[in-house]
Amino acid sequence: MFLALHPTLDLKALTVCANGFATAHGGPANMQRVLSLIGREDVPVSVGVHEGLSPITNFPLQWRVEIDRFYEAQELPESSAALSVLDSPALIAKTLKESETAVAVLVTGSATNLAIALRKEPDLVGRISAIDAGADWRPLREGSAPRNWSNRCSISWAAITGEERTTCMTGR
């Protein structure tokens, strides 16, 4: 929520991968409700693929259902926004193409949707300024832009695009 409301960031889209921290039914609806709570119903929400790129990366269904139920029990406001007609890989591709500047991508769960988008359209890699996975975002000081002090790199470009390089934002 901090990033969605930060004045120096422009949240373009929120995608949900249905094999990680949510189900295909509950995850997108719950994220729409969170966005409604903070007044950001303008942000498109989409659901992605139901299976990960590797069968060992899917969270157990029971865990996903329990996370959905947790959000549903929070008395969040209902959203009046419609779910995006695009699936998550397509919404990612559309967002990257339409952005006036390169986009920093924050991955808080699996990177399946991003990987699929980039495998379908490898030229979109050039539209990404940074990818961060598992970030610890904190402001430098009040009123400043957030910085990333992630201590790990968990997205391999080779795994996503087939290129032989790995990129991440690091520090501490």
For 39-80, what is the HEC assignment?
A: CCCCCCEEECCCCCCCHHHCCCHHHHHHHHHHHHCCCCCCCC
Instruction: Say if 7 falls within a structural domain.
Output: yes
Q: What is the mean pLDDT of each run of 10 residues along the chain (172 residues)?
A: 83 85 85 93 89 75 88 91 93 94 84 90 90 55 41 40 39 30
Instruction: Say if 150 falls within a structural domain.
Output: yes
List CB contacts of 73: < 8 A, sequence separation 6 or more: none
**pTM of the predicted model as reported, rounded to 2 decimal places:** 0.74
Instruction: Say if 167 falls within a structural domain.
Output: no
Number of domains in the chain: 1
Instruction: Say if 169 falls within a structural domain.
Output: no
Whole-number pLDDT of residue 85: 94
Whole-number pLDDT of residue 41: 94
Whole-number pLDDT of residue 153: 37
Instruction: Say if 24 falls within a structural domain.
Output: yes
Instruction: Say if 114 falls within a structural domain.
Output: yes
**Could you tell me the two tokens for 114?**
């991003």
Instruction: Say if 172 falls within a structural domain.
Output: no
Q: Rounded distance, CA 145 to CA 7, Å?
A: 8
Give all strands (DSSP E) within the chain, no chain letters: 14-16, 45-47, 103-107, 128-133, 137-139, 146-148
Instruction: Say if 123 falls within a structural domain.
Output: yes
Any idea what the CATH number is for the domain that residue 29 is in?
3.90.245.10
Residue type, 82: A
Residue span of the structural domain in which 29 resides: 2-161
